[in-house]
Structure 1
Amino acid sequence: MAASLTSGGTAPATSLDRRAKVALVVLLTASFTLAVDFSILNVALPSIGADVGLSLGNLQWIATSFALCAAGFTLFFGRVADLFGKRRLFLVGMALLGIASFVGGLAVNPAMLITARIAQGLATAAVTPAALALLTTTFPEGPLRERALGLNGALMAGGFTTGAILGGILTDVLSWNWAFFINVPIALAVVAVAPLVLREHRPATRPRLDVPGAITVTLGLLAIVFGLSRAGERSWDDPLSLTALVAGMGLLVLFYFVERLVAQPLISVAVLGRRTVAWGNVAGILAFVTETSLVFLLTLYLQEVLGYTPLGAGLALAMLGLGTVLGAILGPRAIAKLGSRRTIVTGFTVQGLSTVPLIFLGSERGWIAVVLVATFIGGIANLCAIIGYMVTATSGLPDHEQGLATGLAIMSQQIGITMGTPIVSAIVAATLPGTTAPHSAELLHALSTAITVNAALCLATAAALAFALPKRSAATTPGA
């Protein structure tokens, strides 16, 4: 699908034919749509609860039910894509997304709504690793893959912010139902075009599915995501939250030992032992933890301190989205010049330094200029780190393991998105005095503390990865 190699057979392809371009558009459209779904309902939660009869205390299940399935089943479906076909799983997942979105838009009671969100989460868990695996198997390692991953990373990172803006617009202009309905024509278009431009990549012999491994890792991830989500809603000393987190970690440890014993593991221990895979995914988790948590903190600042409306806050944060677009352009170029390791380290360093001015935000409206500049620079840097981790975590592996590699990479993204808000929520809550509504100065102090932690985490991650990642690019060291 991509342009062929030069006559010497060594130069990587640098241009796309028409079919490859359409395939890229199809895959990126699907990825962006799924990323938007993570946040498109956040602004509309009060309206949804009032219409379907969901109490205020249970509103978080609209987001949590989606996140549980999206993160918990990603690794499982990534392996299913390897075993039964990436294109097949992609098409099934997009069809499920369209059906679930249609049902969600028609929801008239909590059961119907939550069922639709669960189905959307399962669709996300199926489509996201399949789409990324199709990208990495369609485009060979080198400039084309880096460009494709850069665009994919930009759209997925920007989708979180875009979802908040789009959700506000649709809710204000039409109704919250259209935050669901908007997915239906997109899913129909993708399902219609994808079979014409996407090629299947399946192994000659189909290995067995590692059922014990699939059960332990899925239950472990579900428990951890549930524990994190509940901790963000309640507190970090909530007994059920702690029990879920401990059980989840125990199941993941059990999963590791299962993988060492079974003949055909869900994840090869050798793959997990690769520094590029292991540390690349650590970078992915922290890239999304730091950026999504900062979006949450700045949303509080813009609305609770500066008095912006939800839609106004979303539009203000659109500058971060513009930064990710520029980061998508600069990221592949940085990797070509610096290598993926130095790109990741530089990205986290610049992101941390751009976050430092936000520690000193005040209650005057003029501080919006600092927010706009800092988030724009931080968006560029964060996206460069995201592209670097995607390239690092998926390079040097054969096609029949790309579903697994991309499943791990996407799982890292979704765990990072899930972890970010509960962590900073706990920091803000612990810093605020008492349980009454805080004054602006008290909230500013709490937000400053949480932003300080965010900046420190970026810089600490940069330092750790500088030592942990191989010094040469993953693309040039297959055995790293």
Structure 2
Amino acid sequence: MTILAPSLKATPLAIPYRWWALIALALAQFLVVLDASIVNIALPAIGSELRLGTHMLGWVITAYVLPFGGLLLLGGRLSDRFGHRRLFIAGVAGFSIASAAAGLAMSGEWLLTARALQGISAALLAPAALALLTKLFIDPQDRAKALGIWGAVAGIGSAAGVLLGGILTSSLGWSSVFYVNVPVGALIIATVPFLISKDSPSERAGLNMSGAAAVTAGITALVAALSGTERVGWTSPQTLTLAGLAFLLLSSFILLERRAANPLLPLTLFRNRSVTGGNLAMFLIGGATTALFFALSVYMQQVLRYDAMKAGLTQLPMAGALVAIAGAVPAVVKAYGTRRSLAASLLLLAAGLIWLSFAPSDAAFAIHLLGPSILIGVGLGGAFVSGTETAVHGVADDEAGLASGLVNTSQQIGGAIGMAVLTAISSARTNGLLEQAVAEPQALTSGFTAVFLGAAAFAILGAIVILAVVPGPQMRRI
């Protein structure tokens, strides 16, 4: 298959296997998204076998998130500079090897190192995969359909983590949540060279290493500061020091980029209001969804007393709604434009979250949770697809990897901030009620209600941002 630049017209004969290629790209994205959540269910078993305390178990998650979020911009730029297919295959290979190493871990240090290597590899493959998609599908209608599938897969990966983690851990042991990545990765590596031809590296793609070091260290410090707030508090020396360091590093990154001959992230990219608005929306979507899936999983297991398997199965209606609406989004966008579609999706997401906030401590799934879950799935499906398309709209071909990395970075950082802010509010609410001798189930439920309402506020703010920032006429059709 030949990858064509957006300025050329594609013909069916030129790219006959592009839909098969999309399956391979989407599978890789599925693994990246899945791995951020599937490990949660396995943490107790991991801690027991490797003798890890609560603090170290938290680092099993953080060791993956830190390099992933911190290196996404650099990964996107590297894929522009050295070729998207090449970096995609390298990222998948690294992710598969690191996953095997994690499954074989015999100590906490071994596992954390493997998780960090998974995060580094994910930062290479994720932006390269989305960049390949935008280059393969240059026809507006085909690209809309492809992004619909992409958004559905990303959403399913988020929702399926609890279900697959419970099944694998209970039946095959905790190592299986890592081993499952290996055969899928091998299949992707074996098929991609036959489905996607080599693309030409861009000599224009800058590799400003001082800027790369500054932004990577700055984002890492920011994520580390936010990830630790629930454990050490917002005003602890650790949080304040890391936050101050993040501010200094990110400020220096902006100064370096303004002066660099070949900037890592050309600030002129943000003159494109669709890119700016789309990334702000994805930042807020990440903040809402990361906290949502965490709170919903814990609410079902700690308050409603669902086991891991049942908690996972109850997320199937949400995943089903997400898949169904993602397939319909291209037609909606064609009729109403990306701007309106994204704003409406965010408002539907907010409505579902507000509805979910009314669930009591003795909720019945069919009565209190099914309806909100379906509405949330509809909102998420529309938001993922139209948000991604908005964030990469109008980007030059040699900056596709950069724009794709920026989308993923926005979502990851938004998730870290949303998780930190909303879980802190939830904990304060729950602890306050417990001190007033309120029963634990009711106190926990009230805390989770705060999370759901806070996530709804993120979604509403995202809709406002889109309507205020993204121009209407230029985004009428994709």
* Same-fold call, TM cutoff 0.5: yes
| Aligned residue type for 1:108 | M
SS at match of 2:258: helix
CA separation of 1:57 and 1:40: change in aligned 2, threshold 3 A: same
Q: Alignment partner for residue 407 of structure 2, among 391, 406, 409?
A: 409
Structure 2-normalised TM-score?
0.93
| Aligned residue type for 2:272 | R
CA apart distance, 1:324:
1.5
| Aligned residue type for 2:26 | L
Q: Distance in 2 between matches of 1:413 and 1:403?
A: 16
Q: Distance in 2 between matches of 1:400 and 1:459?
A: 33
| Aligned residue type for 1:401 | E
> Which residue matches 2:465?
464
CA separation of 1:230 and 1:15: change in aligned 2, threshold 3 A: farther
> Which residue matches 1:261?
259
Q: Distance in 2 between matches of 1:257 and 1:15?
A: 47
Preserved CA contact (<8 Å) 1:317 1:372: no
> Which residue matches 1:132?
130
> Which residue matches 1:364?
362
- 1:157-189 alpha-carbon deviations (Å, 9 max, x no partner): 220221211011000011011111111111111
- 1:185-214 alpha-carbon deviations (Å, 9 max, x no partner): 111111111111112322463555111111
CA apart distance, 1:107:
0.6
SS at match of 2:395: coil
Q: How does 1:376-455 map to 2 (within 5 A)?
A: 376-433=374-431, 439-455=440-456
Preserved CA contact (<8 Å) 1:354 1:377: yes
Preserved CA contact (<8 Å) 1:39 1:164: yes
Q: Distance in 1 between matches of 2:421 and 2:83?
A: 37
- Of residues 59-68 and 463-472 in structure 1, the stretch that sits farther from structure 2 once superposed is 463-472
- Of residues 234-243 and 208-217 in structure 1, the stretch that sits farther from structure 2 once superposed is 234-243
- Of residues 430-439 and 107-116 in structure 1, the stretch that sits farther from structure 2 once superposed is 430-439
CA separation of 1:238 and 1:371: change in aligned 2, threshold 3 A: farther
Q: Distance in 1 between matches of 2:175 and 2:185?
A: 16
| Aligned residue type for 2:457 | A
Total equivalences in the alignment: 474
CA apart distance, 1:13:
7.0
Q: Distance in 1 between matches of 2:380 and 2:11?
A: 27
Preserved CA contact (<8 Å) 2:96 2:186: yes
Q: Alignment partner for residue 34 of structure 2, among 33, 36, 56?
A: 36
| Aligned residue type for 1:246 | G
- 1:362-405 alpha-carbon deviations (Å, 9 max, x no partner): 12342553312111111111221121121111121221010111
Task: Give 5+ residue unaligned stretches, structure 1.
Answer: none
Q: How does 1:140-289 map to 2 (within 5 A)?
A: 140-203=138-201, 205=203, 207-289=205-287
Preserved CA contact (<8 Å) 1:216 1:254: yes
| Aligned residue type for 2:199 | H
SS at match of 1:59: helix
| Aligned residue type for 2:248 | G
- 1:85-111 alpha-carbon deviations (Å, 9 max, x no partner): 111111111111111111111111011
CA separation of 1:18 and 1:360: change in aligned 2, threshold 3 A: same
SS at match of 2:26: helix
CA separation of 1:419 and 1:200: change in aligned 2, threshold 3 A: farther
- Of residues 40-49 and 290-299 in structure 1, the stretch that sits farther from structure 2 once superposed is 290-299
Q: Distance in 2 between matches of 1:393 and 1:171?
A: 37
Structure 1-normalised TM-score?
0.93
> Which residue matches 2:115?
117
CA separation of 1:269 and 1:235: change in aligned 2, threshold 3 A: same
> Which residue matches 1:352?
350
Identity across matched positions, percent: 33
> Which residue matches 2:339?
341
> Which residue matches 1:99?
97
CA separation of 1:274 and 1:208: change in aligned 2, threshold 3 A: closer
CA apart distance, 1:12:
8.2
Preserved CA contact (<8 Å) 1:3 1:14: no
- Of residues 293-302 and 127-136 in structure 1, the stretch that sits farther from structure 2 once superposed is 293-302
SS at match of 1:44: helix
SS at match of 1:433: helix
Q: Alignment partner for residue 82 of structure 2, among 81, 84, 103?
A: 84
Q: Distance in 2 between matches of 1:475 and 1:395?
A: 12
Preserved CA contact (<8 Å) 1:14 1:143: no
Preserved CA contact (<8 Å) 1:280 1:390: yes
CA separation of 1:342 and 1:58: change in aligned 2, threshold 3 A: same
